[in-house]
Structure 1
């Protein structure tokens, strides 16, 4: 590999990187693609104003009324279907009563996401309420079958919008981590409505007739619509285009046609007409044609597609949609045929509906339980497995029912089914919206609801087809040849009332036929449940794999940061970035290919030449490796252990971090870091599997493991030597979905003793890691990289000693210079002061006074005590600077007192500068330290010794033994331990006042004028951060690096991610 202008053999990207290569560059193709995308009119997401808890409760309460009624209306037909069908003298009409509602529901839900992005959530909710009320009014007044079905269609259009848009509003107003609990509450409303629909319908039918069940909902819907109009105030997205021109009419039309044709064919076949009827044979193929046309329009034509098809390529989104699709089939089949089971046994419609109460309770319990677990832990891998197992068990037990069974076991079966379903809805929806950016959340939610509605319709259709065909087959097998059999079978098929007027000798045969047909429905549900479970496990296995899918030669342009936001202005560090394809895994050299070792050697040679040519041999280096680049970088640094020349040895010393953005495998898996505790900074973006790459790695795993183990040994050695300290952080890409594992890699890989790990959601398409500066992954990674770069820059000025300039004529200065191996003004290093430091006028004069007051013969000791992050070190730095500017001390020594080893190391470093009167070669470290302290104590001019981070006194036998005794000396100690009064005068460092904290925040973000009318948000931020200067500084840096970033958004993101802190 070379790092000049020629392509590298081992590079996956074509042009090899060098030290001034941007962090992650775009190639021409990507730039052209970006350019084409930029030609589309820009769309701005407007962040809604934060609302109070009371206003939030009123808003969501008004919306959940509609959710409850929409869910109730979707299942009220479960007990009303028989009396309605009987009143129109057509039991085959039964499935259309439900399917008409659900087809319209499924057709409109995908549209609601994009349309409410354009016209606002409030407009969508009001229109949905109007349609829902109108549909129920039509049903209540219907005089024939056609009018009844038309009313169900109109009601379905409104009900679909009510359920989907309620979730959009929750996503707009509630932080992500709390949405699990919110979605649980929403699913309680949904589950309660769905569970009570049958009971309500049966009771109303038995008391006043079935028409009242529809008419009674109208006034409640009107109330909900009025409340929504006055409480929901979420602005639509802004765009340069007019609202109507933004609507994807072609996509909407083809989607509706696709769903209607598909469901029409499935619902008619085997129920109203035979499967060989032209209606079925024409509608199903046409639905496929319409689907292909929809995909083409969404991908190539629509500027703002109803459902961006690329979202469905995201495995998280697709897995969530399929889970909703399959398991909703089961639940709706059960909801419609369990009441029929009990009505055949002789229960009234009211009693049959009441049998569904355990299912409703189960949905509520499962939703709240899943939301609570996710809210507390953020994890749901095992949770999703348990929920789906509950669904399978419930379905299996229902298939064992007979008319001779007691009723109480059914309650347990329905509870298991309901709890699994309710939890599944919460987990999959939260996984889906966390996998995409905020801009796509409404659209993706619409997609999951569309799959849910389609699944419910197909479930009822399949169940109806199984029930009708098995019933007719059973009846014909038993009664064909008897007088009047054909006419009697037709009556049984069309009306349950016929069960009361069966001919003599028919009852047992008819009941057996019904039992067989119902068992067929429940066994079909069991089969679908098992299929869903297998789908979940298949995705889990795929997620557990650990190498890159689809693109073994993926370039660094596919892992890009936004061009305008790359950290280009880096003065004290250079970033090297590269990736390698699967061929790098070969140790035995194939024709025309280099081995890992050869790539590593080329990297070292070219990098050393470049650094020498640019006179940058001492410049710190950060490596960013993706694909298998990490193996090459590890191999390169291992070769530097036994360097071929000074340049290679220097390269190892200058390495400050390796950012692993590739895929763990047998040779580069991140378990190799689980015991590393020091100098290598690591990030892990983990892809999904590539079987070709896995096959290559399988045969070379031992070679790659040797590289891994050798590199781990290197890390451990440097850790023991305490060569340098670096924070150690792991970033793991997350696939947060019930149908896959919690992480792409095993959880153990993300656990490092003594350190935290952070995840990055898969909010990207086509495995592009970072697509815009708004991505969560971009914000976390770029922010962390800039923090590391700042640390490197600070490290270049971290002092051991400060000697005041321009004092050559001072005799005391000359005395000190005689003791130190320093020429006049040749060694002037000081701790770099934070750019944004807010003075503490209540503390600084007190500190200076203690350090300069008369003390007789004793050394003056001042102890700054406070919690971590209070700014003790910053105060010490500022006091040091003020003392230097005012010529208070001739010499200042800064020592790390976080441990005995670090303190001794600092004192030995000072000892190396002291001109001893005798040879120190044979002296022990303790003797050298003691001799150095004596020399400092003998100076006749003032000096200052700073012991920073003395937080663990138990590690020291006594700190006083390292304090020189002199009337000229002053000592400043920073510590979290308040029990240090025996050492000197304690100065408590309290949190900043609100005024000081606000001043620091505004100073860090570029001034209060950048955030007009956001002072209350600023107050909330400093309050959330406990008025801690360190936390406020970091928050300010985070905000300052982002464009058009309101303070309220930081509050939301802090609430979403504070569990990671």
Structure 2
């Protein structure tokens, strides 16, 4: 077997801890812990580059939305550019765990990166809002898979003691992508047009694909099950019904609140009805049909996983609402350029990285997570409140730094919630509990962005109609809602009305973010604290800097946990 195609179910030479003394040319027959450190670095370079690009695409479009919506004259549909990507990521990412067993790590990783790159190319070539939304959905099919396969591959190649360190290095690239998405999108839009922000990524995707294709050739331990058995255990029904449910909810919100359709219109009540039907089907599949459901019924009765999942979903609502609409405030209220608007997200990205490192350091020093969560978990709520106080004449300190507590606080919350989850679950439920919490977080992302968009569009329509009167009022309201660039050309009195209407609408979005953050804090209060076991850190050089010498006893002791984590789909 020249490349791995087997799940991590049994121990073989790949986990016997033997140091690799063979050349790179012979590593095609080696297990993930046998390959040389040089090859591991090349594999990590490929998956981390793909991970950076996927994170970049999560936050790329907010500063580009006004230009895109103005070109297509469909500003009320602009939110679908973001929600389509998140919808695909939320519903199809859980499948990549099983696909990595069927296609092999190399095949699954290449498939994810290929989907993402083809979607990116299609985005740049789109000639309508509908085709751009479809392209973003296709790109999301691969974007979520890149994160999943990167985590699996990293876990393959490193033992339990060094895995956390390596994953933290990968987190740097994720944070960079998230932080640079907004400014990058704005700069490219201002100077070269929004399409260039997609096209320029293609050479880097090509490099990532080349690195993965030429280096990711190790064999995974264990004989595993045959392909037919693995395919039968994939929860296709759960993914399809989840996609139908969430997609129907998004269609309902778009028709009712973006387009202003009445409840009696078929375009409103049909998606609403379908959402209920798909929701019931999803629960039936998960409870009675799926062999390995993506929403495990067992954990619905468990206190900690449910509370952690609810907190993650509400935090996602808060994060996505602010990330997408904070730059819009500068573009519509302050009439700033897209690049300037995007730069206002940089302080938030710096604080996300700082908060994650700080949380890890404190937990390592104290072995506790509850107190830190309760202290710093209120910062996102305070940040959202400050956002509601933004005015045109606000000082530069408020405009640039009011978002910083949000990134710092939510980074600490997500870190401590993961620790709370894994420390309060038995080892046998670790993988399924993590997947449960991640699923709810994904639902919070796509649902939060859709809800924020519905609140924004509904309030904007109401504000404009309240302020604009006359025989051409409907045409003016429609034009202002559908083309942000029109604000620059409006007469002073009408421009003042439009800017004030946008300010009021965005304030409603920030109030939504504050409410979500407060509810997330309340959900975390009952989560118990727990003294974590103290592990003395190793003083030997990090494994990625030396030829790996794996402690055989440590590997054997951690193997059961590795099986549980790596085999989840």
Q: Pick from 63, 81, 85 the counterpart of residue 47 of structure 2.
A: 63
Q: Pick from 153, 157, 171 the counterpart of residue 137 of structure 2.
A: 153
Q: Distance in 2 between matches of 1:385 and 1:364?
A: 19
Q: Pick from 482, 493, 498 the counterpart of residue 494 of structure 1.
A: 482
Match of 1:292 in 2: 280
Aligned-pair distance for 1:483? 4.5
Equivalent residues of 1:75, 1:335 under 8 A apart: yes
Q: Distance in 2 between matches of 1:445 and 1:124?
A: 21
Match of 1:422 in 2: 411
Aligned-pair distance for 1:522? 0.7
**Structure 1 residues 262, 475: CA separation in 2 closer, same or farther (over 3 Å shift)?**
closer
Q: Pick from 79, 82, 89 the counterpart of residue 73 of structure 2.
A: 89
Residues 524-555 of structure 1: per-residue CA shift (max 9 Å, x gap) = 11111111111111xx2xxxxxxxxxxxxxxx
Aligned-pair distance for 1:382? 1.6
Q: Distance in 1 between matches of 2:203 and 2:468?
A: 49
Aligned-pair distance for 1:312? 4.0
Aligned-pair distance for 1:335? 1.1
**Structure 1 residues 84, 465: CA separation in 2 closer, same or farther (over 3 Å shift)?**
same
**Structure 1 residues 521, 424: CA separation in 2 closer, same or farther (over 3 Å shift)?**
same
Match of 2:28 in 1: none
Q: Distance in 2 between matches of 1:191 and 1:267?
A: 30
Match of 2:324 in 1: 336
**Structure 1 residues 442, 220: CA separation in 2 closer, same or farther (over 3 Å shift)?**
farther
Match of 1:348 in 2: 337
Residues 49-79 of structure 1: per-residue CA shift (max 9 Å, x gap) = 3537665554444322222111111211101
**Structure 1 residues 93, 503: CA separation in 2 closer, same or farther (over 3 Å shift)?**
same
Match of 1:927 in 2: none
Equivalent residues of 1:113, 1:306 under 8 A apart: no
**Structure 1 residues 445, 115: CA separation in 2 closer, same or farther (over 3 Å shift)?**
farther
Does 1:250 find its partner at 2:37? no
Match of 2:92 in 1: 108
**Structure 1 residues 414, 465: CA separation in 2 closer, same or farther (over 3 Å shift)?**
same
Q: Pick from 27, 42, 45 the counterpart of residue 9 of structure 2.
A: 45
Does 1:322 find its partner at 2:305? no
Does 1:231 find its partner at 2:216? yes
Aligned-pair distance for 1:129? 0.3
Q: Distance in 1 between matches of 2:327 and 2:221?
A: 43
Q: Pick from 139, 142, 147 the counterpart of residue 123 of structure 2.
A: 139
**Structure 1 residues 505, 99: CA separation in 2 closer, same or farther (over 3 Å shift)?**
same
Q: Pick from 375, 382, 390 the counterpart of residue 393 of structure 1.
A: 382
Aligned-pair distance for 1:234? 6.6
Q: Distance in 2 between matches of 1:393 and 1:206?
A: 32
Determine helix, strand or coil for the equivalent of 1:148: helix
Match of 1:1049 in 2: 556
Determine helix, strand or coil for the equivalent of 2:491: coil
Match of 2:252 in 1: 265
Match of 1:200 in 2: 184
**Structure 1 residues 189, 257: CA separation in 2 closer, same or farther (over 3 Å shift)?**
same
Aligned-pair distance for 1:116? 3.0
Q: Distance in 1 between matches of 2:281 and 2:489?
A: 52
Q: Pick from 69, 73, 76 the counterpart of residue 60 of structure 2.
A: 76
Match of 1:24 in 2: none
Q: Distance in 1 between matches of 2:248 and 2:420?
A: 30
**Structure 1 residues 294, 486: CA separation in 2 closer, same or farther (over 3 Å shift)?**
closer
Q: Pick from 394, 403, 409 the counterpart of residue 392 of structure 2.
A: 403
Q: Pick from 518, 530, 535 the counterpart of residue 506 of structure 2.
A: 518
**Structure 1 residues 123, 412: CA separation in 2 closer, same or farther (over 3 Å shift)?**
same
Number of residue pairs matched by the alignment: 517
Residues 188-224 of structure 1: per-residue CA shift (max 9 Å, x gap) = 3223212211111111111211111111112212222
Q: Distance in 2 between matches of 1:1054 and 1:380?
A: 22
Q: Distance in 1 between matches of 2:289 and 2:561?
A: 38
**Structure 1 residues 172, 294: CA separation in 2 closer, same or farther (over 3 Å shift)?**
farther
Equivalent residues of 2:55, 2:178 under 8 A apart: yes
**Structure 1 residues 387, 171: CA separation in 2 closer, same or farther (over 3 Å shift)?**
farther
Q: Pick from 118, 126, 136 the counterpart of residue 110 of structure 2.
A: 126
**Structure 1 residues 59, 468: CA separation in 2 closer, same or farther (over 3 Å shift)?**
same
**How does the TM-score come out when normalised to structure 1?**
0.46
Which piece of structure 1 moves more, 419-428 or 521-530? 419-428
In the TM superposition, what are the counterparts of 1:184-199 in structure 2 within 5 Å? 184-199=168-183
In the TM superposition, what are the counterparts of 1:780-859 in structure 2 within 5 Å? none
Q: Distance in 1 between matches of 2:180 and 2:494?
A: 35
Equivalent residues of 2:160, 2:558 under 8 A apart: no
**Structure 1 residues 758, 67: CA separation in 2 closer, same or farther (over 3 Å shift)?**
closer
Q: Distance in 2 between matches of 1:476 and 1:132?
A: 41
Aligned-pair distance for 1:426? 2.8
Equivalent residues of 2:294, 2:436 under 8 A apart: no
Aligned-pair distance for 1:321? 2.0
Q: Pick from 524, 528, 549 the counterpart of residue 741 of structure 1.
A: 528
Q: Distance in 2 between matches of 1:157 and 1:383?
A: 36
Equivalent residues of 1:112, 1:164 under 8 A apart: yes
Q: CA RMSD in A?
A: 3.0
Determine helix, strand or coil for the equivalent of 2:269: helix
Unaligned runs of 5+ in 2: 1-6, 18-32, 535-548, 563-569
**How does the TM-score come out when normalised to structure 2?**
0.82
Determine helix, strand or coil for the equivalent of 1:210: coil
Aligned-pair distance for 1:151? 0.7
**Structure 1 residues 500, 418: CA separation in 2 closer, same or farther (over 3 Å shift)?**
same
Q: Pick from 206, 220, 227 the counterpart of residue 204 of structure 2.
A: 220
**Structure 1 residues 158, 236: CA separation in 2 closer, same or farther (over 3 Å shift)?**
farther
Equivalent residues of 1:79, 1:201 under 8 A apart: yes
Q: Distance in 2 between matches of 1:1047 and 1:460?
A: 43
Q: Distance in 2 between matches of 1:248 and 1:465?
A: 31
Equivalent residues of 2:98, 2:230 under 8 A apart: no
User: Bigger relative contact order, structure 1 or 2, given CA contacts below 8 A and separation 6+?
Assistant: 2
Q: Distance in 2 between matches of 1:293 and 1:467?
A: 31
Q: Distance in 2 between matches of 1:384 and 1:60?
A: 32
Equivalent residues of 1:265, 1:280 under 8 A apart: yes
Match of 1:454 in 2: 443
Pick the structure with more helix per residue: 2
Pick the structure with more strand per residue: 1
In the TM superposition, what are the counterparts of 1:603-752 in structure 2 within 5 Å? 740-743=527-530
**Structure 1 residues 529, 234: CA separation in 2 closer, same or farther (over 3 Å shift)?**
farther
**Larger Rg computed on CA atoms:** 1
**Structure 1 residues 336, 143: CA separation in 2 closer, same or farther (over 3 Å shift)?**
same
**Structure 1 residues 248, 472: CA separation in 2 closer, same or farther (over 3 Å shift)?**
closer
Q: Pick from 159, 167, 172 the counterpart of residue 151 of structure 2.
A: 167
Residues 764-794 of structure 1: per-residue CA shift (max 9 Å, x gap) = xxxxxxxxxxxxxxxxxxxxxxxxxxxxxxx
Equivalent residues of 1:120, 1:236 under 8 A apart: no
Aligned-pair distance for 1:147? 1.6
Aligned-pair distance for 1:432? 3.8
**Structure 1 residues 441, 172: CA separation in 2 closer, same or farther (over 3 Å shift)?**
farther
Match of 2:464 in 1: 475
Residues 976-1017 of structure 1: per-residue CA shift (max 9 Å, x gap) = xxxxxxxxxxxxxxxxxxxxxxxxxxxxxxxxxxxxxxxx86
Equivalent residues of 1:180, 1:375 under 8 A apart: no
Equivalent residues of 2:315, 2:520 under 8 A apart: yes
Determine helix, strand or coil for the equivalent of 2:378: helix
Residues 479-537 of structure 1: per-residue CA shift (max 9 Å, x gap) = 22x35222112111111122122235223322221221111111111111111111111
**Structure 1 residues 758, 533: CA separation in 2 closer, same or farther (over 3 Å shift)?**
closer
Aligned-pair distance for 1:469? 1.6
Q: Distance in 2 between matches of 1:264 and 1:377?
A: 47
**Structure 1 residues 519, 1051: CA separation in 2 closer, same or farther (over 3 Å shift)?**
closer
Residues 235-278 of structure 1: per-residue CA shift (max 9 Å, x gap) = 38722653333333333322332332233333443013436243
